[in-house]
Amino acid sequence: MIAELLLLVAGVLAGMIGGLLGLGGGIVLMPVLRFHVGLSAPLAAGTCIVGVFCTTLAGSIRHYRLGHVHLRSLRPVIVSGAIATVLFSLLFVAVARRGRWLDFGMGLVFLAVAIRMIQAGFGKRASRPGLEPDHNEVRGPIWKKTAIGSAAGALPGLLGIGTGAILVPAFTMVLDAPMKVAVGSSLACFMINALVSSAFKWSQGFVDWGVAVPICAGAVIGSTIGAQLNQRFPSSSLQVLFGVVFLYVAAKFVLSTWGVNI
């Protein structure tokens, strides 16, 4: 009972971060599954992406209702991302035989997420979260959107974790989308990637449903709360805080590949 409660709490926290910052929540779930629950790297990746799907589904629905998602403008990102997720999901079985490399790859992703969050937390864009966007479209040429979607689709397929660290800055910096639109659009695009990856990981036998179910329940609750907080909560301080935490998590993943525990 205590274990299920802890997984539920982890799901709520992952969902809140997802809804608030436009991330999938895998940055919270993966270290919990890997280092506290004790799942192998491949099983943690498969179980994590199922929880991420629940986070992004609930969060994207909430942001859509808040007017932050324009689906038509996101089609190139969604389609290219889904195709990339399929291709990298097919490679996952080969990578799963080398759990150390999965941990190392996750460590590099956590490092990139940490740096991006700290930079955004101190940046001007993150310091004005209360402003309402003047439009909800992600504007820009199709080739840019296709390139962004293709890059974002690799991580959920290969590592079982998120593309929010790619999509949010790409939408804001490359396509000049307002921050709230970038967050909502990131969740909507990532939801499709996570759905495709979850289906593959399930069929490949890399999902522990006993762990995934309480996480998904918590993620649905947390992502709804996070989307509401996005309306009124200054996310810059949270980005810096979590960025520092994820620097530690990145070091833990990378060093674990050499048997060093911190």
Calculate mean pLDDT across residues 88-111.
72
What confidence tens digit (pLDDT) does each residue in 207-257 have?
999 888 998 888 888 877 877 776 665 556 656 766 776 677 677 767 766
Q: Choose the weakest-confidence range: 67-71, 129-133, 153-157, 161-165.
A: 129-133
Contact assessment for residue 226 and residue 187, using Cβ atoms and an 8 Å cutoff: no
pLDDT band at 146 (very low <50, low <70, confident <90, very high): very high
Average pLDDT over the chain, rounded to an integer: 78
pLDDT of residue 4: 74
What confidence tens digit (pLDDT) does each residue in 59-82 have?
788 888 888 888 899 999 999 999
With a pLDDT cut of 90, the percent of the chain lying above it is: 13
pLDDT at 126 > cutoff 80: no
Would you kindly state where each structural domain of the chain is located, as residue ranges? 2-256
Distance CA 85, CA 30 (A): 18
Q: Which of 128-132, 142-146, 186-190 has the highest mean pLDDT?
A: 142-146
pLDDT of residue 160: 64
3-class SS letters over the chain: CHHHHHHHHHHHHHHHHHHHHCCCCHHHHHHHHHHHHCCCHHHHHHHHHHHHHHHHHHHHHHHHHCCCCCHHHHHHHHHHHHHHHHHHHHHHHHHHCCHHHHHHHHHHHHHHHHHHHHHHHHCCHHHCCCCCCCCCCCCCCHHHHHHHHHHHHHHHHHCCCCCHHHHHHHHHHHCCCCHHHHHHHHHHHHHHHHHHHHHHHHHCCCCCHHHHHHHHHHHHHHHHHHHHHCCCCCHHHHHHHHHHHHHHHHHHHHHHCCCCCC
Distance CA 240, CA 140 (A): 29
| Higher per-residue pLDDT: 166 or 178 | 178
What confidence tens digit (pLDDT) does each residue in 5-60 have?
888 888 888 888 777 776 667 777 888 888 888 888 888 888 988 988 888 888 78
Distance CA 190, CA 24 (A): 7
pLDDT at 85 > cutoff 70: yes
Q: Tokens 């599954």 correspond to what residue?
A: 33
- For residue 69, what are its two tokens? 């998602």
Calculate mean pLDDT across residues 150-177.
77
Q: Tokens 């974790």 correspond to what residue?
A: 161
How many CB atoms are closer than 10 A to CB 209?
A: 10
Nearest to 143 by CA among 77, 96, 196, 215: 77
